[in-house]
Amino acid sequence: MAFPQEWMDELLSKNEITEVVSSYVTLKPKGRKLWACCPLHGEKTPSFSVSPDKQLFYCFGCHAGGTVIQFIMDMEHLTFIEAVKLLAERAHMELPEEKNDKELIRLRAYRERLYAANKAAARFYCEQLLGPAGQSGRDYAQKRGLVKDIILRFGIGYAPEGWDNLMKHLESQGFSEKELLDAGLLVKNPNSGRVYDAYRNRLIYPGCWTTASPSISTPATRPSTTSGRTCTACFCRRAPSSLTSSWSRGIWT
């Protein structure tokens, strides 16, 4: 998909690199550049720089660098087109050829399938916790002070023992193995090729609560950014810190 140069120029001018980068890390000015610890690789001293003059970033540690589009591609693990789309959304710009781009339409429809799979999984896990299979999960939840009201309010679930409970449930709803793998709900052993549930015998916290108030009626299992990043890892193995700190302080401690 080729974007008109004029449109790309507008996109870049409306996504000033220091503003975009600042939404991920705190930049500190030094010389003609701004610096931070690199958000793309682990480090303790800042080697990640942004040049407002050139509208470029560069990391002296991992050697990542480029325009704001490259930064979003690296940060959000997106393709070029997906990164452009995210930045267009951020700047409230319409994609010029979006309506006619069959590949984008196909990708968007597929992403919706992954969201739907995650939503169905959230419901399944929650039903498991409240149902006969969830006794050990409820016992554990009780030990941690998770009362039923909290479980319902936050859509907390339980992945029961077994390798294919979720797989069978979602495949019976019409989801394909590939969709469930891409959604991060199943994993594949690279050696044996065996496919199985990603989560077993553990409490499940839908990853939606990092940004929004949750609701069991509408489990927000979309990724926290509305960017269209790949819909994986929507479930956390531990209660998100924002949940423990703001919604139920003390409950998980």
Which residues make up the interface to Zn ion (CB under 5 A)?
38, 40-41, 59, 61-62
User: By C-alpha distance, which of 217, 174, 211, 181 is closest to 196?
Assistant: 181
Nearer to Zn ion, 40 or 166 (CB): 40
Place of tokens 């998770």: 146
Among residues 76, 71, 70, the alpha carbon closest in space to that of 27 is found at 71
Cβ closest to Zn ion, residue 71 vs residue 235 = 71
Given the complex with Zn ion, which of 63 and 148 has the nearer CB atom?
A: 63
Report d(CA 234, CA 230) in Å as an integer. Answer: 10
Rounded to a whole number of angstroms, the minimum distance from the CB of residue 157 to Zn ion is 36
Least separation, in Å, of the C-beta of 174 and Zn ion?
42
Specify the amino acid at residue 181. Answer: L
Q: How far is the CB of 50 from Zn ion (least distance, A)?
A: 12
Q: In this complex, which beta carbon is closest to Zn ion, that of residue 62 or of residue 181?
A: 62
CA-to-CA distance for 11 and 216, rounded, in angstroms? 37
Indicate the residue type of 189.
Answer: N
Whose Cβ is closer to Zn ion: residue 73's or residue 151's?
73
156 neighbors 150 (Cβ within 8 angstroms): yes
Tell the smallest beta-carbon distance from residue 81 to Zn ion (Å): 24
Closer by beta carbon to Zn ion, 38 or else 141: 38
Helices 68-76, 80-90: axis angle to 10 degrees equals: 110
CB 222 within 8 A of CB 173: no
Could you tell me if 133 and 184 are in contact, meaning their C-beta atoms sit under 8 angstroms apart?
no
CB 210, min distance to Zn ion, A: 23
CB 37 to Zn ion: min, Å: 9
Q: What's the farthest any 2 CA atoms get from each other in the chain? A: 63
Are 197 and 185 in contact by the 8 Å Cβ rule? The answer is: yes
Q: How far is the CB of 59 from Zn ion (least distance, A)?
A: 3
Comparison of 72 and 117: residue with beta carbon closer to Zn ion = 72
> Coil, strand, or helix at residue 202?
strand
